[in-house]
Amino acid sequence: MKQQQLFDGSKRGPSRFDGQKILAAYGGGVNTIAMLVWMRENGVRPWAIVMANPGSERKATIHYRDNIMAPWLAVAGFPEVVVVSRWEEGPLRKGFLNKETLEECCERTKSLPSIAYGWKKCSYNYKAAPSMWWTERQAWAQEEWAAERKIVKAIGYDFDEDSRAKDEFNDPVENRRYQPWYPLRDAQLDREDCVALIRAAGLPVPTKSACTFCPNNTLEEWDELRRDEPDAFERALVMSRRAAPDLTSESAGLMRCNPHGQRQLHVWHEGGYQGLTPSSSQDTNDTLSLPCECAL
Query: Across the chain, where does the E strand assignment appear?
Result: 22-25, 48-52, 81-84, 151-154, 178-181
Give backbone dihedrals phi and psi of 68, rounded to 5 degrees, phi first: -115, -50
Question: Which three-class secondary structure state does DSSP give residue 4?
Answer: helix
Question: Which three-class secondary structure state does DSSP give residue 84?
Answer: strand
pLDDT in tens, 43-53: 999 999 999 99
The class that CATH gives domain 3-100+119-200 is alpha beta
pLDDT of amino acid 296: 33
Question: Which of 56, 82, 79 has the alpha carbon at shortest distance from 211?
Answer: 56
Confidence of residue 89 (pLDDT cuts 50, 70, 90): low
- Going by the DSSP 8-state scheme, the letter that residue 127 receives in this structure is I
| CB-side neighbour CA atoms (13 Å) of 23 | 25
CA distance 201 to 222: 30
pLDDT of amino acid 164: 83
Give backbone dihedrals phi and psi of 11, rounded to 5 degrees, phi first: -100, 95
- Going by the DSSP 8-state scheme, the letter that residue 211 receives in this structure is B
Confidence of residue 12 (pLDDT cuts 50, 70, 90): very low
| Predicted structure pTM score | 0.86
pLDDT in tens, 181-195: 999 999 999 999 999
pLDDT in tens, 32-44: 999 999 999 999 9
| CB-side neighbour CA atoms (13 Å) of 237 | 15
What percent of the chain is modeled with pLDDT above 90? 65
Confidence of residue 7 (pLDDT cuts 50, 70, 90): very low
Ranking 105-114, 125-134, 251-260 by mean pLDDT, the lowest is 125-134
